[in-house]
């Protein structure tokens, strides 16, 4: 126990001195968590990375499930992902997780709120640069994703753009980038929360 | 078994573990605060100097307005910007006192698609011929600068490129415009305001943001042998411009934080003194408790000097151990302390704000040890003055 405490203290001290790849945090977690989960009384924040959880082997698993390789300067094995576990008293009432995704004209930050079974309860672009921004930030667009689970996205192919879940409509590079971000988000939350066995509903 | 005076002192401390631990804890905390503040004193000024040096300019000419606004504009980028006529600025560039100069136009554009409430993106229109030589530390991780007359090309600072997930060759759609721009270069991280900029060719920025014939800033380096103050005075005669020298900016910011630093340093000194008095009190208490024991030691042949030395060593061990731990903690947790400082300070430059180097650690350790030794003189003297017979009879 003493060793664990000392390690945690050392890690906390050093963590602030390190700089790594860019992650995807909520800009105002207090406000955003309340917006996604109005009944929440608090939340816990955890930082995860593929590198630390399973290294190259896990990366290969994620890429295989995603159906696409991690590419570019910013989609790397050491990207820190922020997982918000939302609480009502001591009970977990959901999770929030965001993904940085390269879009046609800029970065997209796609946040998904999940219920405890891993079903999407809300969808949110924290950042979006797109010619279709108006349509993609309209309430109807976010509503299409509500109620979907990983099972709905399992067959989506981010390269060929096939297997789009029923009820999801749109077009253009940024729309497909969004679908890739949603699928990647599902896979990572499955690993971070549900043990990576695809056990979500 | 023969024990040295050092061993006796050490064992005395071990006999009262809780009291010794609490005394050391007091020293650790005060040393931690003291060293962190010394590190901050050093680090803040160092970072500010680096930020200002990183500007690459000795003097900046901006449109007339609040000097603090101008300082913010230069160091962090700004909104509500004012502009100067370009022909006026060009006349300054031609002056013989100016060794190098680079005109710039800054533009802040609100991006409604950034989060719930939107966000601001800062663009800097630069002259690709004169700007890079004044910022020689700017290096590229991908690509290179655009040509001066290039249209629809941008270079991204490190943080912007990360946020926008852009690489050289990618396209960008700038907020507030409908045209596509090609990313021709991505800069390496600098740790200062350059990381957050989107650079565009000067004339293209003027055209895009409808500011033709206007500039926000002129950065200058002067001929070394000229009188800078006299030249600044000459520039002040120009209509509707203000002259900001880097020395002024530094003094202004240092002035803003100096009073806060003085208060915090005073608090640290008080905490330090309280800890030392705590040590003196603890040692004195332990001397009184061991009155009879000291008497017996003296009756067995210990000289007053030996008793003095024993108490003196006990205090020194407490201070040295607590001091070392405190220095260690301040170093290990300097990252967290820095986060706290950044949260509370109105302006904090990029770079390391708390620098705990060898000399800071050594100075703090010597200071703590010396004050501890000084504080131990009275308890040690009281212990050395114990009369053996009197102490035994009193019990």
DSSP per-residue string spanning B76-129: H--SS---EEHHHHHHHHTSTTEEEEEEEEEEEEEETTBTTT-EEEEEEEE-TT
Query: Which of B32, B120, B165 to mutate to test binding with chain A, by most A CBs within 10 Å of its CB?
Result: B165
B333 CB within 8 Å of a chain A CB: yes
- How many angstroms separate the CA atoms of B106 and B63, rounded? 12
Minimal Cα–Cα distance from A75 to chain B, Å? 9
Distance from CA of residue B311 to its chain's centroid? Answer: 40
Domain segments of chain A: what residues? 21-194
For B157-216, the pLDDT digits (tens) are 998 898 889 999 999 987 666 788 999 999 998 877 788 889 999 999 998 888 899 998
Six-digit token string for B295 = 């008497």
Q: Check pLDDT > 80 for residue B56.
A: no
Strands A91-102 and A107-114: antiparallel
Do the chains contact at B172 and A74, CB–CB below 8 Å? no
B332 CB within 8 Å of a chain A CB: yes
Strands B198-201 and B119-126: parallel
Kindly tell me the sign of the dihedral angle through the C-alpha atoms of B344, B345, B348, B354: negative
Name which of A13, A105, A137 is nearest B172 (Cβ-Cβ): A105
For A102-138, the pLDDT digits (tens) are 999 988 999 999 999 999 999 999 988 888 888 898 8
260-279 of B, contacting A, C-beta below 8 A: none
- How many angstroms separate the CA atoms of A155 and A65, rounded? 9
pLDDT-derived band at B115, boundaries 50, 70, 90: low
- Among all residues of chain A, which has the CA nearest to that of B116? A126
Higher pLDDT, residue B385 or A13: B385
Q: Which residues of B touch A142 (CB under 8 A)?
A: none
Minimal Cα–Cα distance from A28 to chain B, Å? 9
Mean pLDDT of B354-358: 87
How far CA B254 is from CA of B49, B193, B231, in Å, comes to 11, 18, 24
With CA atoms as reference, report the closest residue to B384 among B294, B289, B290. B294
Q: Check pLDDT > 50 for residue A196.
A: yes
| % of chain A residues with pLDDT over 70 | 86
Q: Is B29 helix (H, G, I), strand (E, B) or coil?
A: helix
Q: What is the interface pTM, i.e. ipTM, of the complex?
A: 0.77
Minimal Cα–Cα distance from A199 to chain B, Å? 31
Q: What is the DSSP letter of B135?
A: -
Do the chains contact at A13 and B335, CB–CB below 8 Å? yes
Query: Which of B112, B164, B180, B338 to mutate to test binding with chain A, by most A CBs within 10 Å of its CB?
Result: B164
pLDDT of residue B117: 65
Q: CA angle, corner A106, sides to B106 and A113, nearest 5?
A: 120
For A130-161, the pLDDT digits (tens) are 888 888 988 899 999 999 999 899 899 999 99
- How many angstroms separate the CA atoms of B190 and B105, rounded? 21
Minimal Cα–Cα distance from A112 to chain B, Å? 14
Q: Is B390 helix (H, G, I), strand (E, B) or coil?
A: helix
Q: Which residues of B touch A100 (CB under 8 A)?
A: 165
- How many angstroms separate the CA atoms of B332 and A20, rounded? 19
**DSSP assignment of B325-351, as one string?**
HHHHHHHHTHHHHHHHHHHH-S---SS
- Max mean pLDDT among A88-92, A192-196, B13-17, B114-118 falls in A88-92
Phi/psi for B101 (5° steps) reads: -150, 150
146-185 of B, contacting A, C-beta below 8 A: 161-167, 171-173, 175, 180
With CA atoms as reference, report the closest residue to A141 among A96, A193, A178. A178
Do the chains contact at A126 and B115, CB–CB below 8 Å? yes
Q: Check pLDDT > 50 for residue A6.
A: no
Mean pLDDT of B291-300: 83
For A14-39, the pLDDT digits (tens) are 333 333 456 788 988 999 999 999 99
């Amino acid at each position: 126990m003493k060793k664990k405490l000392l390690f945690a203290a050392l890690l906390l001290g050093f963590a602030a001195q390190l700089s790594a790849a860019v992650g995807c945090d909520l800009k105002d977690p207090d406000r955003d968590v309340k917006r996604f989960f109005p009944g929440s009384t608090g939340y816990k924040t955890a930082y995860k990375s593929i590198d630390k959880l399973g290294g190259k082997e896990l990366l290969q698993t994620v890429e295989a499930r995603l159906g696409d390789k991690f590419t570019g300067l910013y989609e790397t094995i050491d990207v820190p992902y922020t997982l918000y576990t939302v609480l009502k008293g001591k009970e977990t009432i959901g999770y929030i997780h965001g993904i940085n995704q390269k879009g046609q004209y800029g970065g997209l930050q796609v946040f998904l709120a999940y219920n405890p079974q891993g079903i999407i309860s809300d969808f949110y672009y924290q950042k979006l640069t797109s010619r279709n921004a108006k349509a993609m930030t309209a309430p109807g667009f976010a509503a299409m994703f509500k109620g979907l689970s990983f099972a709905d996205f399992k067959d989506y192919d981010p390269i060929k753009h096939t297997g789009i879940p029923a009820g999801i409509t749109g077009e253009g590079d940024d729309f497909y980038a969004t679908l890739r971000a949603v699928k990647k988000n599902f896979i990572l939350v499955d690993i971070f929360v549900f043990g990576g066995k695809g056990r979500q509903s | 078994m023969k024990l040295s005076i050092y061993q006796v002192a050490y064992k005395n401390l071990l006999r009262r573990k809780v009291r010794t631990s609490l005394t050391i804890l007091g020293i650790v905390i005060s040393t931690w605060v003291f060293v962190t503040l010394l590190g901050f004193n050093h680090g803040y000024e160092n970072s500010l100097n680096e930020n200002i040096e990183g500007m690459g300019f000795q003097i900046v000419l901006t449109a007339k307005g609040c000097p603090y606004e101008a300082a913010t504009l230069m160091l962090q980028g700004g909104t509500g910007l004012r502009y100067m006529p370009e022909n006026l600025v060009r006349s300054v560039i031609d002056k013989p006192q100016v060794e190098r100069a680079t005109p710039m136009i800054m533009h802040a554009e609100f991006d409604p698609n950034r989060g719930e409430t939107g966000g601001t993106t800062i663009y800097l229109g630069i002259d690709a011929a004169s700007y890079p030589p004044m910022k020689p530390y700017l290096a590229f991780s991908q690509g290179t600068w655009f040509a001066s007359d290039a249209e629809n090309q941008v270079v991204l600072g490190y943080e912007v490129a990360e946020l926008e997930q852009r690489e050289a060759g990618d396209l960008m759609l700038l907020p507030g415009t409908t045209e596509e721009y090609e990313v021709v270069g991505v800069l390496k991280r600098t740790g200062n305001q350059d990381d957050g900029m989107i650079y565009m060719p000067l004339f293209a920025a003027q055209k895009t943001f409808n500011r033709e014939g206007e500039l926000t800033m002129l950065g200058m380096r002067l001929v070394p042998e000229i009188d800078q103050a006299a030249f600044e005075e000459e520039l002040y005669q120009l209509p509707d411009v203000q002259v900001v020298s880097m020395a002024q900016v530094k003094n202004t910011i240092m002035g803003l934080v100096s009073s806060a630093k003085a208060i915090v340093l005073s608090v640290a000194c008080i905490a330090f003194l309280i800890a030392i008095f705590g040590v003196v009190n603890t040692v004195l208490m332990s001397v009184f408790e061991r009155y009879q024991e000291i008497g017996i030691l003296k009756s067995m042949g210990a000289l007053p000097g030996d008793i003095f030395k024993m108490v003196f060593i006990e205090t020194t061990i407490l201070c040295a151990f607590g001091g070392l731990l405190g220095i260690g903690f301040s170093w290990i947790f300097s990252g967290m302390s820095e986060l706290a400082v950044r949260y509370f300070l109105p302006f904090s430059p990029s770079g390391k704000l708390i620098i705990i180097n060898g000399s800071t650690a050594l100075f703090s350790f010597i200071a703590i040890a010396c004050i501890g030794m000084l504080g131990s003189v009275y308890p040690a003297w009281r212990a050395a003055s114990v009369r053996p017979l009197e102490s035994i009879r009193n019990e």
